[in-house]
Structure 1
Amino acid sequence: MDRLSLLQGIARISVFVSLLMAFFLMTVKTENKLANRLFAWFFIVSAIDLSGFFVFDYIKDIFTLVIFRWTICLLAMPLFYLYVLSVCYSDFRLKWKHLVYLLPIIAVNLAFLPRLYLMNDSDQTKILEGIDQMPEIYFIQIVIECQYLFYIVSAFLILKKYREIYLENYTNPSTLIYKYLFQVTTVFLIAHCLVALKNLLRYSDYRQVFLWLNVFVGAVALFVTCWLVMKAMKYPELFKGINSKLQLAKDILPKAEENVQPVDVQDDVISSQISILKQYMAEKEPFLDPSLTIQELANQIDTPVRDLSILINHHMDQHFFDFVNEYRIQKAMQILKDHSKNDVTVLEILYEVGFNSKSSFNTSFKKYTNLTPTAYRNAS
């Protein structure tokens, strides 16, 4: 089998799997239908882009369709970026302003209009023979790289903010969303670096390397698509996001300090609030609720959530996540040291103290004690 046949075979499988993934996302039952549909369209666009390895001979006589297939990739990253937003933020909705993401593909196609779309059939056929050397193709490559850099950086910034907000407002957060999206974004970044390298080699003397790299990139695309299909089948609900209106304590703080009190009075007030909060945590043990949020705790102690957020995340210099888990770990340590409860398993203990994940419990326990729960029990 020659390289071209191998590449076309891989591309056909990749397109099939991508379309299968799109069908799955469109039909699976989930609360976050918008996220699924955006990701489904991302896979449809990717399938159209990948089809270029084998579909050219079938559409070369329809020049407009050839150009459309070349430029369709400019929709991929906007769709992926919107997907990240819709997964991270449960209240995300598409608005008219999001049509601005169509500007690159519109601009590129307008750039093609004078020279390509308006040509007669014979001129278009000649153009296809030397298409790689056309200024328009260089222009498209530059636009694609600039667009990709913008959206990949934006996606990582969204994930960074999402993680910070989650840690400041939730306890025992499922890091599944963050890890999943971070992994996907990183994989896409690596895959695109390979594609960029391939495109550079196209215009170099390493033509043979370019051809083999085409095969390798096709195989990577197939692997990534299959990996995402397996992820989607394992987690069909596609996770639960946070409210986009939540703010970080560092963003709330400047507003809260506009009517600041004298330093001595302020220190006394803060010390009193911290003391009351710690007393409530010790006596009422709200941390035993695995789904406890900062909003729920603020309601319980009758304090504005923004004040509680500043108190914990700024004045106590802890994330809400760490603040609550510290009490859970202390409770677990008490149980583990109690020899009368040696028959209680570690799994039972972690659920009893408010955790809902063994990995999360072990990570937090080792962070505070430098020991695993089992090692701590044996040493007590």
Structure 2
Amino acid sequence: MSNFDFYSSNVILTFKKWVLAFQFVLVALAAIAQNDLTISVEVKIPLLLEDEHIYMASDFNDWNPGDSKYKLNKVAPQQYEIKIKNPPSRFEYKFTQGTWATSEGTPAGESLSNRVFKRSENPSNLVETVILGWEEQIVYTVIVSSIPENTPKDASIYITGNFNNWVPNDENYRLRKSIDGSYRTIVYSDKPFLDFKFTRGSWATVEARESGKARPNRRLDRSKTTQIDNLEFSITGWEDLQGTFSLFSIYDLLLLFSVFQGILLLIAIPSIQSNNKPANNWLLLSIALSSVSLLFYLLSNFSGAVQAFPKIIFLADFIIFLYSPLYFFYLRKLLFNDTSLPSRWYFHFLPFVIQVFAYLPFLLNSNKEMLNTIMNQDTMLVYVFLTTGILGLIWNSYYWNLFRTMIKNYRTQFETNFSYEQNLNYLNTVLYIHLVCLMLWGAFFVVFGYSRWQNWDTVNLQENFIDTIWLSFSVVSFFLGYFAIHQTETFKADPQSVSIFDDILESRVAEKITLEENEDKSKHDTGNEELIKDLEKIMEEKKPFHNPKLTLSELAKQIGSQPHILSKAINEHYGKNFFDLINGYRIEEFKKLIQNPSFHNFTLLALAYEVGFNSKTAFNRSFKKATDQTPKEYFNQIKKK
């Protein structure tokens, strides 16, 4: 055989193989084509939505009611069809208008059973059917009566929520402008709760509070909503249009100022102040916690930050159970002579640890899952936040009472030993600020509970309560930091047990009281009378009260007695403590000097300093307490005489 014949036979053989392969492909394609299914649908009633789209939801597309891959094509008026390639031999399906709220039903509006296709019962590739009705759903008529003035004139407004899978630009839910200037649309839903928001077509242009800050989802409770055909709302702001400031509002700037101030105090206090160092260490921890929490809260008000890191909404909450124990130990170290922590100190921080574990399941979620949880206002998330808030209010109220008791006990011990006032009034100011925060906190829950009971939209009022709490709390760092820098070393009182977690202080105080009582048993009334005579004599002759820094120990030394014995004698004989007794002598001396012609050129304050008072505040307070008059009122009274 020649080479030519050999090559010719090979070419012919190869050609035959390609022909056979091509024929096989054609047969396969024909077989596949025979398996394709066409479903033709005639719609005999008007559609619910204006876009006239119909979808097929089935068990092979996870019953997605608005799957674009299974949208029917409109081939004629009221006639739709869809071609399904290589469908299963058996499947169930239903027709919708994009959501389960617009699913097909019976002519009477009742629920319709799933349609079933079986290849064995329908060997042809065509299914012809009709839609005779739509499942009757709750119909909400949504009316937006007012929108922000800075809304773009050509903007489209949409409503999005759990009824349309939170699609922000769903044309089925675009609001139409009416002649009266309002915007209207209809929402179909059978859900017990309708969670929703208004947008201008994207999540970047979602509605907000008047300040431009993110607002929670709106919610309607179907069981408590009566006029569903006339639901009127107002849009107060947009997140991308924040009014006067392009980025920050005045409120934001105040919180930001407090954050920076806290950072400066963290640097300044250790550098400048060497007094009260153990107490200031606790103060620095509380200021650091406050500053970080304020920053997290500030960031959580911006949708961009929440979109990027949704877990930020949890971080500011950790201050709820952590701040009060830190401030408690600050007061303990500042005011009392206590060198060690109680053996059960860690119980103070146990609620914080529990809170961390309660938040942990949410913190371990992905950002996408967390956003969906926030968007849908997950029931568990709401319960966790509510439980945390209520328990936090109780916890911080308990500590507020501890703070008040500690300051009161300290003042009592101080006035027993000293005749002047120590500048710790800022602690009372902080105590009042804490009280304001607690009252606003309680008012928030009252409003929240009432809004749920009456189904009223009080979101703006609730948000204002929260904002005011944070703004009030931000002032605390200023007071504490400023006075910590200028504070001299404070007198350390004997520690007392005030907390349920204290267990080692009670014995110290009890031992001291027992010791004093045993010593005083040896003193008779006659001895006390002699002691009082010695006291009054030295007061008249040497006038030790002229010393602004006079202490009980110094006076007892001059008399030749023990401080606790002198203190007990003063209490029993005069019914006063050392502080009130000495200031009483100073006031009587002031009354004498004010009528002395030699002192007529002195001001009232100069006379107060002359008799031993060390501040105008202490003088005015003591004078008012002793005479029920202010110094000026007393001066005017004697002038008339």
1:199-238 aligned within 5 A:
199-202=445-448, 204-205=451-452, 208-215=457-464, 217-219=466-468, 221-222=470-471, 225-226=474-475, 229=478, 236-238=485-487
1:78-89 aligned within 5 A:
78-89=325-336
Give the match for residue 12 of structure 1: 252
* CA distance in 1 between partners of 2:256 and 2:317 (Å): 19
Q: Is the 8 A contact 1:88 1:240 kept in 2?
A: no
* CA distance in 1 between partners of 2:378 and 2:551 (Å): 56
Q: Is the 8 A contact 1:3 1:212 kept in 2?
A: no
Question: Which one of the candidate residues 113, 128, 144 is aligned to 2:392?
Answer: 144
* CA distance in 2 between partners of 1:246 and 1:71 (Å): 29
Give the match for residue 108 of structure 1: 355
Give the Å deviation of 1:52.
Answer: 5.4
Give the match for residue 196 of structure 1: 442
Q: Is the 8 A contact 2:613 2:619 kept in 1?
A: yes
Q: Is the 8 A contact 1:335 1:341 kept in 2?
A: yes
Q: Does 1:352 align with 2:592?
A: no
* CA distance in 1 between partners of 2:369 and 2:443 (Å): 31
Q: Compared with structure 1, are the counterparts of its residues 156 and 210 closer, same or farther at alpha carbon in structure 2 (3 Å cutoff)?
A: farther
Question: Which one of the candidate residues 492, 499, 506 is aligned to 1:243?
Answer: 492
What is the number of residues matched between the two proteins? 373
Q: Is the 8 A contact 1:46 1:76 kept in 2?
A: no
* CA distance in 1 between partners of 2:627 and 2:367 (Å): 75
1:1-380 aligned within 5 A:
3=209, 5-7=211-213, 9=249, 12-26=252-266, 27-28=268-269, 29-30=272-273, 31-33=275-277, 34-35=279-280, 36-48=283-295, 50-51=297-298, 53-55=300-302, 57-59=304-306, 62=309, 66-89=313-336, 98-113=345-360, 115-119=361-365, 123-131=369-377, 133-134=379-380, 135-174=383-422, 176-177=423-424, 179-202=425-448, 204-205=451-452, 208-215=457-464, 217-219=466-468, 221-222=470-471, 225-226=474-475, 229=478, 236-238=485-487, 241-245=490-494, 255-258=515-518, 261=521, 266-369=524-627, 372=631, 374-375=635-636, 378=639
Q: Is the 8 A contact 1:39 1:79 kept in 2?
A: yes
Matched residue type, 1:145: L
Give the Å deviation of 1:86.
Answer: 4.2
* CA distance in 1 between partners of 2:320 and 2:558 (Å): 50
Q: Is the 8 A contact 2:294 2:474 kept in 1?
A: no
User: Structure 1 or 2: larger strand share?
Assistant: 2
Q: Deviations over 1:296-333 (max 9, x none)?
A: 22233332222122122344311111110121122222
3-state SS of the aligned residue for 2:458? helix
* CA distance in 2 between partners of 1:232 and 1:118 (Å): 36
3-state SS of the aligned residue for 1:208? coil
TM-score for both structures, normalised by structure 1: 0.81
Give the Å deviation of 1:4.
Answer: 5.2
* CA distance in 2 between partners of 1:379 and 1:92 (Å): 57
Larger relative contact order (Cα-Cα within 8 Å, sequence gap ≥ 6): 1
Matched residue type, 1:17: F
Shifted more, 183-192 versus 323-332: the winner is 183-192
Give the Å deviation of 1:55.
Answer: 4.8
3-state SS of the aligned residue for 1:5? coil
Give the Å deviation of 1:221.
Answer: 3.6
Q: Compared with structure 1, are the counterparts of its residues 163 and 145 closer, same or farther at alpha carbon in structure 2 (3 Å cutoff)?
A: same
Shifted more, 313-322 versus 28-37: the winner is 28-37
TM-score for both structures, normalised by structure 2: 0.51
Give the Å deviation of 1:379.
Answer: 5.4
Give the Å deviation of 1:243.
Answer: 0.9
* CA distance in 2 between partners of 1:375 and 1:367 (Å): 18
* CA distance in 2 between partners of 1:209 and 1:298 (Å): 63
- RMSD between aligned residues: 3.5
Give the Å deviation of 1:60.
Answer: 5.1
Q: Deviations over 1:144-198 (max 9, x none)?
A: 1221121111111112212212222211214x41x32223222222223223332
Matched residue type, 1:5: S
Give the Å deviation of 1:279.
Answer: 1.3
Q: Compared with structure 1, are the counterparts of its residues 44 and 166 closer, same or farther at alpha carbon in structure 2 (3 Å cutoff)?
A: same
Q: Compared with structure 1, are the counterparts of its residues 166 and 227 closer, same or farther at alpha carbon in structure 2 (3 Å cutoff)?
A: same
Q: Compared with structure 1, are the counterparts of its residues 367 and 327 closer, same or farther at alpha carbon in structure 2 (3 Å cutoff)?
A: same
* CA distance in 2 between partners of 1:173 and 1:133 (Å): 54
Q: Deviations over 1:319-377 (max 9, x none)?
A: 11111012112222222222243233333321121112234323433444455353365
Matched residue type, 2:362: L
Q: Compared with structure 1, are the counterparts of its residues 246 and 53 closer, same or farther at alpha carbon in structure 2 (3 Å cutoff)?
A: closer
Q: Which runs of 5+ in 2 are unaligned?
A: 1-147, 149-207, 215-248, 497-508
Matched residue type, 2:527: V
Matched residue type, 2:211: S
Q: Compared with structure 1, are the counterparts of its residues 271 and 127 closer, same or farther at alpha carbon in structure 2 (3 Å cutoff)?
A: same
Q: Compared with structure 1, are the counterparts of its residues 289 and 255 closer, same or farther at alpha carbon in structure 2 (3 Å cutoff)?
A: same
3-state SS of the aligned residue for 1:292? coil
